Amino acid sequence: MSWKTTLTQMTSCSLLLVSSFGFANQAADGVAPEESTGLENKTLTTAKKWMVTAANPIATQAGADILAAGGNAIDAMVTVQLILGLVEPQSSGIGGGAFLVYWDAKGNRLTTVDGRETAPLAATPTLFQDEQGKPLKFYDAVVGGRSVGTPGTVKLLWDTHQQHGKLSWKQVVQPAIDLARKGFAISPRLAGLIAKDKERLSRFDSTKAYFFNADGTPKTEGTILKNPQYADTLAQIANNGANAFYSGNIAKDIVETVQSAPGNPGVLGLQDFANYRTKERVPVCAPYQSYDICGMGPPSSGALTVGQILSITEKFDLEKLGADNPTSWQIISDASRLAFADRGRYMADSDYVPMPTQGLLDSGYIAERAKLITPNKALESVSAGSPPWSHAMRLADDESIELPSTSHFNVVDSEGNVVSITTTIENAFGSRLMVRGFLLNNELTDFSFKTHKDGAPIANRLEPGKRPRSSMSPTIIMQDGKPYMAIGSPGGSRIIGYVAQSIIAHLQWGMDIQQAINQPHLVNRFGTLDIEKGTAAESMQSTLEGMGHKVNIRDLNSGLHAIRLTKDGLEGAADPRREGAAIGE
């Protein structure tokens, strides 16, 4: 039996929560962004007109209902996001931020929208350092108000709907209001995560009251959870648009909650809300075979790093080597290490730091990096390269971590519009602060806690108004100027590997998109090759170690979702590692 099919053949089951939330400091990377909560068997879904793939079946169905009612992809996007913030609150919501890659069929145009959080104007580069100038321990920085950035999700939803929406704003917000008042059954995944994070969630009264019973026990799977405060918040947004969120009582309550957070207050202010703007940015596209792999540019590192991995590995015959060959994974592993070295040195918010965006994907530079890889022999060490760059400057390597509790979903409507959006509040349950029925992000911990290293500035250092670097990789693959596939995933900085490997599996190894998502993960970012626990890929461990790789067997909890546009209609796939679904007509 080929190892690449093992996840497909696993039946729906419940597995123990085995990962730890513990984290030593910012440079360490020992935990998954969210706990592993089991596998569900998923099969390829097909449709003729439209499709939604998202991380929760309630949210997926709500988006499908909007499309069935005549709405378009942007309409469905708004509804899906607002319901995800209710039924999957640990992963995303209106207290967080998002990146959108969007194909406008009528305008024949691909664009991206940056709804990333921003650092408060009162924030200083030493926000996450102690009195001795040393970086704080990760969760000492995360939990409370210190880590909260200005949320961008509501503005992204509003701005894109104003430009592209078909149904009324109230109509697309209403399903989330109704569900919040009616209540929903807590899913197995959410129940497990609440129980696992009991200590941190219990530190704040509003969060504790929502997720726990009166006796302090966690609310369990199947419990009907109502959220009238969230419904009231959304009702204001439905009636008054994004202004209801960024001015008035909602913004005041957020600021008060952040600034008065017990033990770890933050500096977010009302002016930060007044100043917040989304940014439409030119997509970053990397050629790969006969396709263009397009995604979000800086402040996301996603499209650049995915593009580098694919471009470097294209110099080798992965198609001939095949998915079952350890040599394929040694090549992918070292390509990823090289790309992550460049990511750590160069990638940040390009509005604040000059970046060699074009140089990092330059064909000559890619060829130069690919020559460093020797099949069957792991690189002993890697370092950032020297891409073509007119603003060459000395920058230090960044060791900041990223543990988003994130969600990715896609929508394709009957008009051919395509949404690929990754949305987050960063860590599981974000800052753990809850206000007006939603959780606030801890996005500022995506900045480097250090400002300099060896006398050189770190590109991803914290600065007022700056957007922290992200690994979110919402992707639309283009072929002959038209969308071919939408794909993305949660998973911290491993998002990049999950997306790149799924694309390789589909385009190089001929797997359908469900098989590509189901395949076991092997991810290397900083020198350790992580192999997904409980899969047949574990059989490669000794061979890869013999090639010189340091190997670690662990849970790798992606949440990949994809839609492929074919001549016959649409194909949809949802990750068996999460609770998502693909629904179409």
* pLDDT tens-place string over residues 64-100: 999 999 999 999 999 999 999 999 999 999 999 999 9
- pLDDT higher than threshold 80 for residue 121: yes
In this predicted structure, what is the pLDDT of residue 398? 56
* pLDDT tens-place string over residues 422-441: 999 999 999 999 999 999 99
In this predicted structure, what is the pLDDT of residue 28? 35
Q: Is 92 annotated as a binding residue?
A: no
Asked if residue 483 has a cis previous peptide bond (ω within 30° of 0), the answer is no
Helix axes 326-346, 302-313, angle to 10 degrees: 140
Report yes or no on 291 lying in a domain. Answer: no
Report yes or no on 216 lying in a domain. Answer: yes
Q: Where are the extended beta strands (E) located within 196-239? A: 224-225
Closest CA to 98 of 82, 115, 113, 81: 115
Residue 515 phi/psi, 5-degree rounding, is -60, -40
Beta carbons within 10 angstroms of residue 237's beta carbon: 23
- What is the chain's mean pLDDT, rounded? 92
For residue 411, give its domain range.
36-276+404-475+567-576
Q: Which of 13-27, 37-51, 199-213, 288-302 has the lowest mean pLDDT?
A: 13-27
Residue 418: strand pairing partners: 103, 412
pTM assigned to the model: 0.92
Report yes or no on 289 lying in a domain. Answer: no
> Taking residues 31-46, what's their average pLDDT?
71
- pLDDT higher than threshold 90 for residue 161: yes
Closest CA to 307 of 351, 257, 345, 342: 342
Q: pLDDT-derived band of residue 12, with 50, 70 and 90 as boundaries?
A: very low
How big is the chain, counted in residues?
A: 585
Helix axes 495-507, 326-346, angle to 10 degrees: 140
Residue 255's H or E segment, with its range, is helix 249-259
In this predicted structure, what is the pLDDT of residue 453? 76
Q: Which of 13-22, 196-205, 296-305, 325-334 has the lowest mean pLDDT?
A: 13-22
Q: pLDDT-derived band of residue 452, with 50, 70 and 90 as boundaries?
A: confident
> Taking residues 514-537, what's their average pLDDT?
96
Report yes or no on 195 lying in a domain. Answer: yes
Q: Is 116 annotated as a binding residue?
A: yes
Q: Is 470 annotated as a binding residue?
A: yes
CA 375 to chain CA centroid, nearest Å: 31
- Sign of the Cα pseudo-torsion (502, 507, 508, 514, in order): positive
In this predicted structure, what is the pLDDT of residue 307? 99
Q: Are 429 and 405 in contact (CB under 8 A)?
A: yes
Which among 31-35, 333-337, 349-353 has the top mean pLDDT?
333-337
- pLDDT higher than threshold 80 for residue 156: yes
Q: Are 558 and 496 in contact (CB under 8 A)?
A: no
Q: pLDDT-derived band of residue 395, with 50, 70 and 90 as boundaries?
A: low
Report yes or no on 300 lying in a domain. Answer: no
* pLDDT tens-place string over residues 556-578: 989 999 999 999 999 999 999 99
In this predicted structure, what is the pLDDT of residue 455? 74
In this predicted structure, what is the pLDDT of residue 133? 87
Structural domain count of the chain: 1
406 is catalytic: yes
Percentage of the chain exceeding pLDDT 70: 91
Cα gap 99→305, rounded to integer Å? 16
- pLDDT higher than threshold 90 for residue 377: yes
Cα(first)–Cα(last) distance of the chain, in Å? 34
In this predicted structure, what is the pLDDT of residue 39? 74
364 contact partners, CB below 8 Å, separation of at least 6: 388
CB-based burial, 432-449: b 16+ in 10 Å, e otherwise: bbbbbbbbbbbbbbbbbb
- pLDDT higher than threshold 80 for residue 227: yes
Which 3 state secondary structure label does DSSP give 571? strand
In this predicted structure, what is the pLDDT of residue 450? 86
Closest CA to 318 of 546, 556, 511, 541: 511
In this predicted structure, what is the pLDDT of residue 391? 60
In this predicted structure, what is the pLDDT of residue 385? 95
Write the single-letter amino acid at 38.
Answer: G
Q: Is 364 annotated as a binding residue?
A: no
Report yes or no on 482 lying in a domain. Answer: no
In this predicted structure, what is the pLDDT of residue 17? 25
> Taking residues 287-307, what's their average pLDDT?
98
Cα gap 444→122, rounded to integer Å? 13
Report yes or no on 283 lying in a domain. Answer: no
Q: pLDDT-derived band of residue 8, with 50, 70 and 90 as boundaries?
A: very low
Q: pLDDT-derived band of residue 457, with 50, 70 and 90 as boundaries?
A: confident
Cα gap 298→153, rounded to integer Å? 17
Q: Which of 180-194, 326-340, 456-470 has the lowest mean pLDDT?
A: 456-470
* pLDDT tens-place string over residues 258-285: 999 998 999 999 999 999 999 999 999 9
In this predicted structure, what is the pLDDT of residue 399? 56
- pLDDT higher than threshold 50 for residue 2: no
> Taking residues 327-353, what's their average pLDDT?
96
Q: pLDDT-derived band of residue 13, with 50, 70 and 90 as boundaries?
A: very low
Q: Is 253 annotated as a binding residue?
A: no
Cα gap 87→581, rounded to integer Å? 14
In this predicted structure, what is the pLDDT of residue 158? 99
Catalytic residue among 406, 422, 423, 424: 406
In this predicted structure, what is the pLDDT of residue 183? 99
Report yes or no on 321 lying in a domain. Answer: no
Cα gap 207→218, rounded to integer Å? 11
Strands 550-554 and 528-532: parallel
